[in-house]
């Protein structure tokens, strides 16, 4: 028996990393062993994470198994969307213009800046006293 073909994509955002596996199916999305809407209880999170499917008109064509680690809710949602987008490119190269136009293939490089020595945070200096 031959296994169903699957497509893998890795998405990143802030410090989150999402490993996405797409398998032809009816549209079930499982994140770390839980359904997507159960894993992210936030309003609009599901739509934001599944945006690549709606942009490419492939919703209900693939089941997605996703493992996501690191970061917070916002970063994980962005990483999932990025990973799904990259996996959809492997499915069909004609998805490229739609995904590129929606900005889903660009890895968002913004991350927390490191704390510098002598400062309270990345840029906040201690209070200055003149006298």
Tell whether 14 is covered by a domain: yes
Within 10 A of 77 (CB to CB), how many other CB atoms are there? 27
Q: Are strands 7-13 and 34-35 parallel, antiparallel or unpaired?
A: unpaired
Q: Identify the band that residue 101 occupies on the pLDDT scale cut at 50, 70 and 90.
A: very high
pLDDT at 1: 55
pLDDT in tens, 36-95: 999 998 889 999 999 999 999 998 899 999 999 999 999 999 999 999 999 999 999 999
Q: Is the pTM of this model over 0.95?
A: no
Expressed as residue numbers, the domain containing 50 is 7-101
Tell whether 119 is covered by a domain: no
Largest CA distance in the chain: 82
Q: Please name which of 92, 35, 86 lies closest in space to residue 65, comparing C-alpha atoms.
A: 35
- Residue 27 belongs to a domain with what CATH number? 3.30.230.10
Q: How many domains does the chain have?
A: 1
For residue 6, give the 3-state DSSP assignment.
coil
Tell whether 46 is covered by a domain: yes
Tell whether 65 is covered by a domain: yes
For residue 95, give the 3-state DSSP assignment.
helix
Q: How many Å apart are CA 29 and CA 77, to the nearest integer? A: 13
- Which residues have a Cβ under 8 Å from the Cβ of 6 and sit 6 or more positions away? 21, 22, 23
Q: Identify the band that residue 100 occupies on the pLDDT scale cut at 50, 70 and 90.
A: very high
Tell whether 19 is covered by a domain: yes
Tell whether 127 is covered by a domain: no
> Does residue 3 surpass a pLDDT of 80?
no
């Amino acid at each position: 028996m031959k296994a169903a073909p699957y497509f893998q994509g890795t998405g990143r955002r802030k410090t989150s990393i999402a490993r996405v596996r797409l398998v032809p199916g009816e549209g079930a999305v499982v994140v770390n062993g839980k359904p997507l809407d159960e894993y992210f209880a936030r309003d609009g999170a599901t739509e934001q994470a599944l945006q690549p499917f709606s942009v490419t008109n492939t919703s209900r064509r693939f089941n997605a198994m996703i493992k996501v680690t690191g970061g917070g809710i916002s970063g994980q949602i962005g990483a999932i969307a990025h990973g799904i987008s990259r996996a959809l490119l492997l499915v069909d190269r004609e998805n490229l213009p739609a995904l590129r136009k929606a900005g889903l293939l660009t890895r968002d490089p913004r991350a927390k800046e490191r704390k510098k020595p002598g400062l309270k945070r990345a840029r906040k200096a201690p209070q200055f006293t003149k006298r």
